Amino acid sequence: MTNLDLVIRGGTLATATRTGREDLGIKDGVIAAIGPSLEGRKVIDATGLLVLPGAVDPHVHLDMPAGATRSSDDWCSGTRAAACGGTTTVIDFVEPEPGEILLDAFRKRRQEAAGAIVDYALHMTLTNARDETLAQIPDVVAAGMTSFKTYTTYEGFRLDDAAFLRVMRAVRDASGLVMAHCENDAIVTDATARLAALGRMGPGAHPYSRPGIAEATAIRKILSFAQFIQVPVYIVHVSTALGSQAIAWAQVQEEHTSGGRRTVPVGGETCPQYLTLTASEYDQPGFAGAKYVCAPPLRTPHDQQMLWNALATGTLQTVGTDHCPFNFSGQKDLGRDDFRKIPGGLPGIEARLALLHTFGVLRQRITLKQWVALCCENPARWFGLYPRKGTLEIGSDADVVLFDPSRQVTLSTESLHESVDYTPYEGFALTGYPVMTLIRGKIVMQEGNVVSDPGLGHYLFCDTPGLI
Ligand SMILES: [Zn+2]
């Protein structure tokens, strides 16, 4: 093997299944050799560094419409930040307008994504169960989108019970996967109205407007429906102990009813904000709590600990960011007098891998291999991108992160590349940070500097989804 384009030499290769000192050889943008003492036309010295698969973020919202505003990162700025944090694939969403042909909305989204510098795939959002909508699902799958986002809350988005069954059956028949945002709408509506009646209109009211029981109730319903229909379901942004217990219960049920083997994948993700922040942030002085307004909201230290347990035991299999940034000044303050009008969402696309290293691996809540599984391999597996993405095997895309496990970094708005005027992780002291990111063998980030032009990112066709 002397005809390699590039060799990453002397590092510790770390995937979800193995770690060890090996060189990595790249040719034509894919991994062509793994082993000792490789030779190539160009060599990168990775001594002392971890060599990881590029991270896959299964849940981002770049340039997303939200009422009268849009999330503050566009595809170019958001994917630059992703690359700086070691993320080489993001999966965003197509959100069709009412009545719009699903593939028309997809084509518009592709145009918006033209500036992406990392590879990307798309989930399709379904907000109704009309015959003419469901009839388009096979076309959507043929265009490379095999995962379908559904909501149990939000006017204009949520499906009722009968609609959920129809959507699940249509997605199953197209060999797709259902993703669900789970918060019981009646509980959220009731709790929100009661707070408003009491005159509690500041950000401190936000967590009480979306109680944890609303999440758990909705998860139980969705997973019961999924078991009835027999369709794979991925629960997004699980935030509570009760919610993760509901998933664990469904996993056991699924094993019992299918002879010990889980035939229909059931699982989901949590997010860095639920693992590292708690609802006490909403009590910051003045309006500062608005920086942390997202749905579901931040929870208790107990929830946080149980989410770490759920990751360690496999109840939850991925960590996605739900990156959906809004500037504190000019966007979050649309809700200055009314927490219900604060645009919901947090930035986080950049620091996920490093946050999970410091708060997960170094705190011994998860192992090094689990870290790679949660951030890289499992998201790729769930959404039909594995083994092209999420691992370092011969034939995989050469998406590689060089990660310095001893680098000390203090997170700040100034040092992060996200296009937003604050970070919820301001002042967080991290040990370990990406120092280089390659996409398909090309260096896109070196020492925190983006060295790639916009538009490098490819649209990815997703294969049959589901973690089995
Ligand atoms: Zn989201």
Q: Which residues of 401-425 are buried (b: 16+ CB within 10 A; e: fewer)?
A: bbbbbeeebebeeeebbbbbbbbbb
Centre of ligand 1 from the C-alpha of residue 271, in Å:
10
Centre of ligand 1 from the C-alpha of residue 294, in Å:
9
Centre of ligand 1 from the C-alpha of residue 345, in Å:
8
Q: Which residues pair with 402 in a beta bridge?
A: 51, 436
Task: Return the structure tokens found at 122.
Answer: 């798309």
Centre of ligand 1 from the C-alpha of residue 136, in Å:
23
Cis status of the peptide bond prior to 232, with omega within 30 of 0: no
pLDDT of residue 322: 98
Sketch the domain layout of the chain as residue ranges: 54-382
pLDDT of residue 22: 97
Centre of ligand 1 from the C-alpha of residue 53, in Å:
24
Are 271 and 307 in contact, with CB atoms under 8 Å apart? no
pTM of the model: 0.97
Residues in the chain: 468
pLDDT of residue 265: 87
Element spanning 172, H or E: helix 161-173
Q: Which residues of 357-380 are buried (b: 16+ CB within 10 A; e: fewer)?
A: bbbbbeeebbebbbbbbbbbbbbb
Are 16 and 377 in contact, with CB atoms under 8 Å apart? yes
Centre of ligand 1 from the C-alpha of residue 121, in Å:
15
Centre of ligand 1 from the C-alpha of residue 12, in Å:
34
Looking at domain 54-382, its CATH architecture is: Alpha-Beta Barrel (3.20)
Centre of ligand 1 from the C-alpha of residue 23, in Å:
37
Centre of ligand 1 from the C-alpha of residue 379, in Å:
15
Say how far apart CA 422 and CA 109 lie, in whole Å: 26
pLDDT of residue 260: 66
pLDDT of residue 254: 78
pLDDT of residue 261: 64
- The two beta strands, 40-45 and 4-9, are parallel
Centre of ligand 1 from the C-alpha of residue 61, in Å:
6
Q: Please, where are the H alpha helices in 210-300?
A: 212-229, 241-257, 272-276
pLDDT of residue 318: 98
**Phi and psi of 277, rounded to 5°?**
-130, 160
Say how far apart CA 137 and CA 171 lie, in whole Å: 7
Are 86 and 401 in contact, with CB atoms under 8 Å apart? yes
Helix, strand, coil share of the chain (percent; to 5): 35, 25, 40
Centre of ligand 1 from the C-alpha of residue 320, in Å:
9
Query: Average pLDDT for consecutive 10-residue bins of the chain (468 residues)?
Result: 88 97 98 96 98 98 94 97 98 97 98 97 98 98 98 96 98 97 98 97 98 98 95 97 97 78 84 98 97 98 98 98 98 96 98 98 98 98 98 98 98 98 98 98 97 94 85
